[in-house]
Amino acid sequence: MSDGRVNNADQQEQEQNLVNAPVKRSLGLLITTYGCLFVGSVASSLLAKYYFVHGGSSRWVSTWVQSAGFPLLLVLIYFPHFVFKTTKGRPFTRFTQRHLFFSVVIGLFLGFNNFLFSWGTSYLPVSTSSLLLSTQLIFTLILSVIIVKQKVTFSNLNCVVLLTLSSVLLALGSSQDKPAGLTKTKYFIGFLSTIGAGLLFALYLPVTERVYRSVYCYAMVMEMQLVMEFSATVFATVGMAFDGGFKEMVKEANQVFTKGPTVYWTVAILANVVTWQLCFAATSGMVYLTSGITGGICMTALLAMNVIGGVVVYGDEFGGVKIVSTVLCIWGFSSYVYGLYVKMKKEEKKEKEEKGYTGVKTAEDGGEMQVEMGKVKNDDVAAADERV
């Protein structure tokens, strides 16, 4: 009787850990997700500015394209199960009413965040808006501590301080970065809108991390992301309908956009839709595979690439303040990555000592190597596979 109770308790504990513990995933999937985040983040920021530079003026159109590509996520949801046979459960079979509720609420919240970002992009240079968005990181850390009990370490605190300092320096020297013909009032609106978008995104990251703790696989993350992006698209569509955005799209394409209607629909609209969806899907994947704070740090580090992209593509000024800000941004991210590397090596060495062997565990020994927040671990492969 006692053995039965013990086994039952052990089984319940394993099931609880399966839901609540951060999910282990292959290093290849993590690298692929970050690669998609890199491409999506840099390309979407440049294309968002491209729309306004060449005559586009509707903030609602810019907001709408950030989420309208949600049908593309159906590929990531259905292909793993029906084509590649890598997932056991059928799509949406474990999608509960709780998941639906949180996905809809977060999606509407994300839609408003997209709107603020569009306002900021319409007025500010890409390099300025990119560095301003890095202010979200310190709030991401604070909210992660509160919402998901994130442990504060020297590496993540040092990274947050350096990246936030880079934004403060930019803010102090931004008065001379105002584009020609732009009033101080509009520049101030763009400045505050970008800061607001960063702060809302800081809340988005730990909230989604908390919700993803009840998610069973990567494909289910995409299921929730599909509902979020659909809700954000509804928000933007309603705004466009009241503001005449759909008629304005046709007018912009045929009469206003300086590159002509073909470039308008293929680059300013379609390419924007695809790259933004790639960016947001990869962001959700990073949060699921690692944590909200790690996802925020990775995105903030990419802002340095956006700064360089703005200088190269649009000729944004790159004076002393931006140089220092960019260096601090790269420095902060590098220190965080190094901290993860040191942590990984220490824990790997500790596990080898505990298990009494050296070398990487092979498939015959129990499965392929897994990663969790930079930590190498080979246990519980069967449990991890079941969540795929």
Task: List pLDDT tens digits, range 208-257.
Answer: 999 998 888 888 899 999 999 999 999 999 998 888 778 888 888 998 89
Own/partner pairs for 354-358, CB < 8 Å, 24+ apart? none
- Confidence label for 63 from pLDDT (cuts 50, 70 and 90): very high
Q: Is the pLDDT of residue 24 over 60?
A: no
Q: How far apart are CA 287 and CA 294, in angstroms?
A: 7
- Confidence category of residue 167, pLDDT binned at 50, 70, 90: low
List Cβ neighbours of 98 (8 Å cut-off, separation of 6 or more). Answer: 214
Residue pLDDT, tens place only, 322-342: 788 778 877 887 777 777 777
- The SS3 assignment for 375 reads strand
What is the chain's mean pLDDT, rounded? 77
Burial class, 11, CB count within 10 angstroms (exposed 0-12 / middle 13-18 / buried 19+): exposed
Percent of the chain with pLDDT over 90: 22
Q: What is the pLDDT of residue 70?
A: 93
CB 176 within 8 A of CB 88: no
Predicted confidence (pLDDT) per residue in 272-307, tens digit: 999 999 999 999 998 998 888 888 878 777 766 777
What confidence tens digit (pLDDT) does each residue in 141-166 have? Answer: 888 888 888 887 777 788 778 877 77
| Burial (CB count within 10 angstroms: exposed 0-12, middle 13-18, buried 19+), residue 94 | middle
| Residue 343, pLDDT score | 75
